[in-house]
Structures are given as C-alpha cells and as structure tokens.
Structure 1
C-alpha cells in the first residue's frame, strides 16, 4: 500500500514545480517597469505644460514622443508573449496589464494635445481643479512606477492598490469640482466645451491608473 504524502508536502511539491516552470527571463518585469517610468515622464510633461510661460508646442511634441515610445514598448511586450512558451503569470493578465498601461499614456497624451491645439494654455490661468487633477495623476504615476517592480516577488503590493484607489477617489472629487466651475458662468460656452473635453481625458487617466492597480491585485491574488 502506497501512503500518500501529507497535504503540506504535496503543496510544497506543487509550489516547487510552479517555480521551476517560471522562466528566468526578466524581460516581462522590465517591460512593466519601463512602461511605468515612461508614464512618469508623461505626467512630468503635463505638469510642465500647465505652467505659465511654458513652451507649449515643444512640451506637447515631447509628450507625443513619449506616447510613441510607450506604443513601441507595448508592441515589444506582445511580441514577447507570443514568442514565449512559458510566462511568469497568466498571458491574459500580461496582455491586460500592458494594454492598461498603454491606455494611461494615451489619455495623458490626449490631455497635452488638447491643451495645445485648443490654445487653452494661453488663458490667464487654468482652473485650480485642473492643476489638482494633474498633480493627482503625477502621484499615481510615481506610485505605479515604484510599485510595479514588486510584481517579481509579489510582495508589498497591497499598499499600492489601496493608495491608488484613494488617489482615484481624490481625482473624482477634483473632476466634479472642475465641472462645477466650468458650468458656473466663469467661462464662455466655447471655452467650456474645450475644457470639458480635457477634463474628461484627465478623469479617464485617473480611472486608467485604477484599472492598472486592479489588474495587479488580480495577479497578486492568483499568484499567492
């Protein structure tokens, strides 16, 4: 009669096999780190763009370049997934996380382009709430860049998604207050329409950061 090993031993064996199946290639983790750092560059440029006397055209063009860099990184990630027999965690989660990071950058670039093309930076000043949203996005970007390297060890990530959710709630409040200001009669109708489009992109960027953190939470739960 063969006596099965204790359950704890079985679990240990499963964990050992799982670890052996994971690739030693760090390129997936490097991609997420690079993409997050790229997004920090994006929020830095947005902050610069919103400042008085900024070289609006130059900053906007640099923001477009950063967005193109992120597109190239995303295509590189997809090619890597398609050519890898084993991935560090579920392929679907890797695709989703890469796509969501790209979405964040797309929204940031849209904000910069609209501010430039609509000539909104020529106003005496942008609404205070718009500056607040840009500042929140910069906090989310830095938090994400600091936290995503933790995917390799799957440790210390809970604080990240909790804080990212808190910041997204702050962004929602700033967005609502921005809408109140826009429809208060302080601006003419055409300016309101332009600013509303920018505000929507800022709010979408805040939401996109939360989507990233939700996916990280899903991955961490699966891998725990």
Structure 2
C-alpha cells in the first residue's frame, strides 16, 4: 500500500476535472462545424465563452497553488498540467474562430479529413475528461496515456491526408491558405492532448 505525507485537497483535483469537462464541451461545439450550413458565428461565440471559463479555472488553480503551503502534487507538475489543459482549449477555440472569421461556412461541407480530425479530438477529449478525476488515486491511468498517444498518431495521419486534399487543386489558393490555418490549429490541439498525457504519466511515475 502506498502512503503519502501530502494532503489530499480535493479542490485541486476538481480544477482538473472541470477543465476536462470544458474540453468535452468545446469539442462538442466545434464538431457542429462538421455539418454543412452550421452557424459558424454561434459556434465561435460559444467557444469563446468556454475558453474564458477555462481561463478562469486556470487562474483559480494558480491562485490555489500559490496560497497552499503543501500541495497534493508537485507544484511544477500542477502548473504544467493546468497550462497544458488551457493550451488544448485555446487551439480548439482558435480553430472554430478562424472558420467563422474566414467565412469558410460558404463551402458546401468541410473536407472528410477535417471531420476525421474532429473525431480524433472528440475521442481525446472524452478519455482525458475520464482520466483526470482518477489523478487523486492514480488508478488505471496507463491505458489512458497509451490511448492518447495512439489517437495522436491517428490525428497526424488525418492531418497529412487533409493537407493532400487541400493541395490537390480542389480548392482555390486563398481557401487553401485559410483552411490550412484551421487544420494547423486542429493538429496542434491533438499534440496538446498528448502533452497533457505525458505530464500525467510523469505525475503517475513520481507518485507511485
């Protein structure tokens, strides 16, 4: 049985759990863009709201860390995890915002490969949100980071295939430039989920 002299303050773990729920909310909103004729302005505005909620969570987490003498996990790890969860949300929000600002709703439908990226990100968000509450007991986390890494590889493949589609001549040059910026944000979100998983793996090793 593992013993720890660290206090088990539930407030810290609740911050991380709430951030995970925000990522699921964000991806549910962003995925509305997979449907032709989606209200891109509404998607963008709602993503901004979720991103602001996440910023406040991160701010509250940092304040809690700074005001706590002994934290349940290493301070550096909690700072890193909070920042990386916020990074994921920033990339999700940026992708939705660019679709609206660039007027990409005028396209008949998003490329199938972009929808594949949405699917990968949705899966990453769900299993991350499921894993974060288990940080307190460090239970069954290895399967989580292995699956996140596998999904990140799927995201890389979908991103490369999306680039092939964009540069196939199907779209005009200006649309290609706009859509590539969106694709870059989606791919960055996939990578950011992997960074979260890597930090959780580091925490798990330290605490085991």
Q: TM bucket by the smaller chain?
A: over 0.9
Distance 2:141 2:26 in 1: 23
2:63 pairs with 1:108: no
1:25-61 residue CA offsets vs partner (Å, 9 max, x unmatched): 2011000000000010000001113312322211210
Quote the RMSD (CA, aligned, Å).
Answer: 1.1
Aligned to 1:207: 191
Distance 1:104 1:156 in 2: 23
2:131 pairs with 1:147: yes
CA deviation after TM superposition for structure 1 residue 23, in Å? 1.7
Q: What is the aligned counterpart of 2:117 among 119, 133, 152?
A: 133
Structure index of larger Rg: 1
1:67-95 residue CA offsets vs partner (Å, 9 max, x unmatched): 00000000000000000001111100000
1:181 match: secondary structure:
helix
Aligned length: 208
2:97 pairs with 1:117: no
Aligned to 1:93: 77
TM-score by length of 1: 0.91
Aligned to 2:145: 161
Which blocks of at least 5 consecutive residues in structure 1 are unaligned? 1-11
Which blocks of at least 5 consecutive residues in structure 2 are unaligned? none
1:158-215 residue CA offsets vs partner (Å, 9 max, x unmatched): 0000000000000000000000111111100000000110110000000000000000
Structure of greater relative contact order (alpha carbons < 8 Å, 6+ residues apart): 2
**4+ runs of 1 displaced by more than 4 Å?**
none
Distance 2:64 2:34 in 1: 37
Distance 2:54 2:145 in 1: 22
1:52 match: secondary structure:
coil
